[in-house]
Structure 1
Amino acid sequence: MADIHHQETLDRIDYLTVAVYRSCFLLAAIAIVLMSLNHLAFGMPLLVLSALIAASCVHIYDKTIRWFIQASGLLATCLLVAQLLPTIALGAAIAVWCGLSIKEYYCFRIRLIKITPLMLVFYWLCVALPIWQPLLYLSAGLSALLLFSIGVAKFRQPFHFDIGDKSKFQI
């Protein structure tokens, strides 16, 4: 996980997982936009699957945090596939994106990431408790913009930033 002062030798799997992880931020942003435009049949699975894939490709030293993020992605996917509790499935996917956003802030101090988890939770609340439609659009737009910004910022970084020191990973 993010040690910009350590340049590890990367193999093909490292490059692949980092590229996929970074791409998932962009896919999640697209999914939120699609969902806000009432394309739930495509947007919701895209958001859940991008969360699961990003959680599977994340490089985090601490296995407890890594497990929590991956378990949230798996829960979201299982609920989506079983067509049970779609709001909870969405919440579990949002939990993945909140965790990954916090990880990115902790590692790289990319501006505006601090508010991303709050905006994502607010978006989930707007979906779960349909209060006022303009709030849903506002929270969806800001959430998508923030996730897209993180994705773009991540692609500007060298790939070794995401890997860090491989010897520090807990198995």
Structure 2
Amino acid sequence: MNYTEKLMANPEHKEHLDGLDKISVVSYRSGITLFALSLLVLFSAELLCVLEVDISPVLREWSLNLIAISAALSAANIHVYNKKVRAIIAWSSWLGLALFIVLPTKEWLYIGFMFITFSGIALKESYCFKVKGLNLVPLLLILSVLVMWMKEPAILAALSGLGGFIYAVLAIEKWKMPLHFDIGNKASYEI
């Protein structure tokens, strides 16, 4: 078993899935889908901010709330064999969600932690899919946090739009495949 096979589910292995496994995979994929949509809403909000349209703050708030929900769905249901890697990916979102509650005005901070989760997911999924740009997503998300901190809506619009598009392509590809691909071999998970 090579290093990559030790980290994540093996799609060649056909595992019997119980109801909880199916819910876990559907929740994970829903988190990915919702994250793509939230980035596209953020793109719209920032673009409208540049155009000075009044609805942009409402859309921005919606996008940040959707990112938080998608982070919870994905972090709670990440399928990675290695428990240390799984912990880093998942706990980044839990820390981000705690900061979301405690420091709601520090958007760049809590979003940064949530984006660690989605960067990890993008890298994990890049081993399985040849979605163009998927390896670029972590850089787009890091730059988005920096630009969010700098309060540059035009640049944030471009970064979130591109990231949202790439994640949307990933979401479409994920929903096309059988559920057992996400789980792999249950015996390989470190507890």
Task: Give, as a single letter, the amino acid of the residue that structure 2 aligns with 1:103.
Answer: K
Q: Does 1:15 align with 2:22?
A: yes
**Does 2:138 correspond to 1:117?**
yes
Letter aligned with residue 21 of structure 2:
D
Query: What is aligned with 2:185?
Result: 165
Could you report, residue by residue, the CA deviation over 1:72-117 in whole angstroms, capped at 9, with x for unpaired residues? Answer: 1101110111135321101011111001111111244443211111
Report 1:25-36 matches (<5 A): 25-36=32-43
Q: Does the Cα contact within 8 Å between 2:133 and 2:166 map onto a contact in 1?
A: yes
The normalised TM-score by structure 2 is 0.83
Q: How does 1:19-58 map to 2 (within 5 A)?
A: 19-36=26-43, 37=45, 38=56, 39-58=59-78
1:22-171 map, 5 Å:
22-36=29-43, 37=45, 38=56, 39-84=59-104, 85-131=106-152, 133-171=153-191
CA distance in 2, matches of 1:154, 1:42: 24
Name structure 1 gaps, 5 residues minimum: none
Moved more, 83-92 or 154-163: 83-92
Deviates more, 1:143-152 or 1:41-50: 41-50
Alignment: residue pair count: 170
User: Which structure's CA Rg is the greater one?
Assistant: 2
Provide structure 2 residue ranges, at least 5 long, that are not aligned to the other structure: 1-7, 46-55
Deviation at 1:134, TM superposition (A): 2.8
Which stretch shows the higher mean deviation, 43-52 or 58-67?
A: 43-52
Using the alignment, how far apart are the partners of 2:132 and 2:13 within structure 1?
Answer: 23
* Contact persistence 2:42–2:60 (CA under 8 A): yes
CA-based RMSD of the aligned residues comes to: 1.5
Is the 8 Å Cα contact of residues 10 and 183 (structure 2) preserved in structure 1? yes
Identity of aligned residues (%): 28
Do 1:48 and 1:77's aligned partners in 2 also have CA atoms closer than 8 Å?
yes
